[in-house]
Amino acid sequence: MTTLGNLLAFSPELWLLLGAIVVFVTARFAAARTTTTIALVTLVVAFAALATQFKQTITILDGAFLLDGFAIVVDVVILGAAALALLASRADVLPGDADLASGPGFYLLVTLGAMLAVSAAEMISLFASLELVAVNLYVLTGLLRRGSGSIRVSLGYAVAGAATSGLLLYGLALLFGLTGQIQLRAAGSALTGIRPNQPAVFLMLSLLIAGFALRIGLVPVRWWVGGFENGVALRAVVLVQSVGVITALAVFGRLLATTFAGTSIAYAPVLAGLAAIVMTAGTLLAITQSSLRRMLVYTTIGQAGFALAAFTDLKRLGLTALLVFMVAVALTTVGAFAENAAAIVRQSREAAGAGAQRDRRVPRLREPRVPGRERGDRGARVGGEGARRPVLLAGGVGSGLYPRLRCRSSS
């Protein structure tokens, strides 16, 4: 395509990038509600730009990206999930929280990376797009932190994500080394002439499955970091569990369908066994959780096992089933976590109101009665040299310490 054609094909992504820039500039002098509105308008404009590309298959940048029917449907799901996550973020502002005005800009950058990733048709663009999603999620979770140990939680999440990126990078490097191709479709054609029982093939498949399993959240290492469910705001967790998971599922599905589906590599039995383990373990672990957030996450993991089952039949109806699952994940995940956030905010406001009402019921301190104040000359004698004057000692409001009096000598 020509340069102008490439720009037109990237029009949804360009609108998202422009909207993120506007949000970051506006955040210097506007409140978070204003920047959230700008981000929502940007998502609507990006969807309108994407609608002009329906029923088209466009190859962009000499095959680096492929906008086909699968990518368009996933893009619509991602835009919808991002819009719902933005709306839900307004329900997760606790009393006393610093409302981050630049936060919606990172939502847009995550959405931009996700749309690029699901259209990626070569290894370099695929990995770079996934990193664009991951890095902005790390920054967002770091900015939307809560509590004294939240910095440690954010750094732990970033370290776990870096390990995930390393697994994916090594897996893609082995794929390139075995085939000599960076285009996914060309690499799939080259894999058909390679013996599937080679150790390098087994190692490559293991690294790719492990990397995408961590990105999807099948092994929830980010939730093993102590305090992640309380140290990071729910508005960031919603984005991780919706747009992040959907992107990883879509990219993994495209990689398998394009590169491995036409080969004799036995990836389907491996994924079938992994799906059975994940859907069983996720459901059982969800029952044993005492934290509502962890229960929701493990429930999502159990449901992701059914998505893995779709990967075993990518030649027929597997991709269609995967698309249906991603729509369900977007709606249920955002809805469940948004309701949890709204309940927490409601309880915090009720507790604050009860505390204010309790403080109003604290009895007022009467002015102490000093002997001799009503009697003129005796009062002067009592209040003169060597007299004992009352001193007020009081605890703070709500501390449970009521005011008391003590006398001390004026000398």
Look at residue 266 and tell me if it is in a domain: yes
pLDDT band of 282, cuts 50, 70, 90: confident
Look at residue 384 and tell me if it is in a domain: no
Domain membership of residue 272 as a residue range: 3-346
Look at residue 372 and tell me if it is in a domain: no
Look at residue 406 and tell me if it is in a domain: no
C-beta contacts of 346-350 below 8 A and 24+ residues apart: 348/94, 348/95, 349/95
Look at residue 376 and tell me if it is in a domain: no
What pairs with residue 59 in β-bridges?
A: 66
Q: Are 158 and 138 in contact (CB under 8 A)?
A: yes
pLDDT value of residue 111: 94
Q: What is the pLDDT of residues 239-253, one digit of tens each?
A: 888 888 889 889 998
CA-to-CA distance for 80 and 83, rounded, in angstroms?
Answer: 5
Helix (H, G, I), strand (E, B) or coil at 27: coil
User: Which residues have C-beta within 8 Å of that of residue 307, sequence separation ≥ 6?
Assistant: 216, 249, 322, 325, 326, 329
Look at residue 392 and tell me if it is in a domain: no
Which of 7-21, 95-109, 134-148 tops mean pLDDT?
Answer: 7-21
Look at residue 11 and tell me if it is in a domain: yes
Burial class (CB in 10 A: 0-12, 13-18, 19+), 342: middle
pLDDT surpassing 90 at residue 126: yes
pLDDT band of 347, cuts 50, 70, 90: low
Look at residue 175 and tell me if it is in a domain: yes
Q: Could you give the count of Cα atoms lying within 13 Å of 131 in the half-sphere of its Cβ?
A: 13
Domain total of the chain: 1
What Å distances lie between residue 303 and 277, 294, 298, CA to CA? 12, 14, 9
pTM: 0.78
Q: Could you give the count of Cα atoms lying within 13 Å of 244 in the half-sphere of its Cβ?
A: 30
Q: What is the pLDDT of residues 4-26, one digit of tens each?
A: 566 677 889 999 999 999 999 99
